[in-house]
């Protein structure tokens, strides 16, 4: 899913070519307070993942491990589990990219769900496909991170990388880049102590929590109920927090391993 942004006379235009969807935000147009809040958070959620995942999350953390050069026996779809072929398992880099890509699709679908809710919260049936898409992609992302964690647990760390992370100036870096202290504190603790697998586990845990909240909203929609806007905001905040967590971790790797 591609997203491009342009500014035309202070109007922000978001274009989704694949879905043929265009979104506009005019800061000078009078809007209701709730509408302004949802539009602002929706724009933030769209723009941050596009840049953070496409550029940043796809690089970094797997560099802390020593990759295996031997193919891992895997079972292909439809193949007898007792007869395994030596198909190379996905690398940690590949798993990271795949998991991040599905998360991006999920966050984008949820953003459009929020927009639809803001425009017409009574159109329950019209919002269901977007929520279903958000859930489906987040399920795929979470499953991939489960595999990534399993791979990381049996892959040795690169001691040279861990040493450089242990002496990195985290406080100075946070102040220089203007990063949010609460999020960066969690990132810096994991990286400083060499618990890179713990970073993957954090992403998985946060994703699983988001899924539970999305399931609750889906249940309400299926029963003709209108979800509480506070509940939707909590989910939105969860997407943002998770995005920043991954971005901050990758920023450290990019700065330290360049």
Q: Which sequence spans correspond to the domains of the chain?
A: 31-67+88-256
Q: What is the pLDDT of residue 254?
A: 87
Asked if 24 contacts 8 with a C-beta cutoff of 8 angstroms, the reply is no
Please list the pLDDT of the chain residue by residue as tens digits (258 residues).
Answer: 334 333 333 333 443 333 333 444 443 444 444 444 444 444 444 444 433 443 444 445 666 767 665 445 454 445 555 554 555 678 888 898 899 999 989 999 999 999 888 888 777 788 899 999 999 999 999 999 999 999 999 999 999 999 999 999 999 999 999 999 999 999 999 999 999 999 999 999 999 999 999 999 999 999 988 888 899 999 999 999 999 999 999 899 888 876
Q: What is the pLDDT of residue 39?
A: 44
Q: What is the pLDDT of residue 126?
A: 85
Asked if 58 contacts 100 with a C-beta cutoff of 8 angstroms, the reply is yes
Q: What is the pLDDT of residue 49?
A: 43
- Read out DSSP for 10-55? TEEEEEETTTTEEEEE-TTS---HHHHHHHHHHHHHHHHHHHIIII
Q: Is 178 helix (H, G, I), strand (E, B) or coil?
A: coil
Q: What is the pLDDT of residue 62?
A: 65
In this structure, how many other beta carbons lie within 10 angstroms of the beta carbon of residue 154? 8
Q: What is the pLDDT of residue 50?
A: 39
CA distances for 196 relative to 76, 163, 165, 189, angstroms:
29, 13, 10, 10
Q: What is the pLDDT of residues 62-93, one digit of tens each?
A: 667 676 654 454 544 455 555 545 556 788 88
Q: What is the pLDDT of residue 136?
A: 98
Asked if 134 contacts 116 with a C-beta cutoff of 8 angstroms, the reply is no
């Amino acid at each position: 899913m591609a997203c491009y942004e342009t500014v035309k006379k202070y109007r922000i235009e978001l274009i989704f070519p694949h879905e043929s969807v265009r979104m506009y935000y005019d800061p000078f147009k009078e809007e209701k307070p709730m509408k302004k809040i949802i539009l602002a958070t929706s724009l933030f959620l769209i723009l941050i993942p596009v840049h953070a995942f496409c550029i940043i999350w796809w690089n970094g953390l797997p560099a802390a491990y020593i990759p295996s050069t031997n193919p891992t026996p895997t079972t292909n779809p439809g193949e007898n589990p007792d007869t395994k072929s030596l198909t190379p398992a996905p690398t940690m880099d590949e798993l990271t990219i795949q998991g991040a890509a599905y998360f991006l699709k999920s966050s984008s679908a949820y953003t459009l769900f929020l927009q639809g809710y803001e425009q017409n919260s009574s159109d329950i049936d019209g919002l269901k496909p977007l929520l279903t898409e958000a859930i489906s992609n987040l399920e795929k992302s979470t499953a991939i991170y489960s595999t990534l964690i399993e791979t990381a647990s049996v892959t040795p760390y690169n001691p040279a990388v861990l040493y450089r992370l242990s002496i990195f100036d985290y406080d100075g870096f946070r102040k220089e880049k203007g990063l949010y202290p609460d999020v960066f504190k969690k990132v810096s603790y994991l990286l400083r102590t060499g618990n890179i697998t713990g970073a993957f586990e954090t992403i998985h845990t946060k994703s699983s929590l988001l899924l539970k909240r999305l399931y609750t909203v889906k249940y309400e929609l299926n029963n003709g109920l209108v979800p509480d806007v506070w509940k939707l905001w909590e989910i939105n905040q969860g997407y943002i927090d998770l995005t920043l967590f991954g971005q901050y971790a990758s920023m450290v790797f990019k700065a330290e391993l360049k």
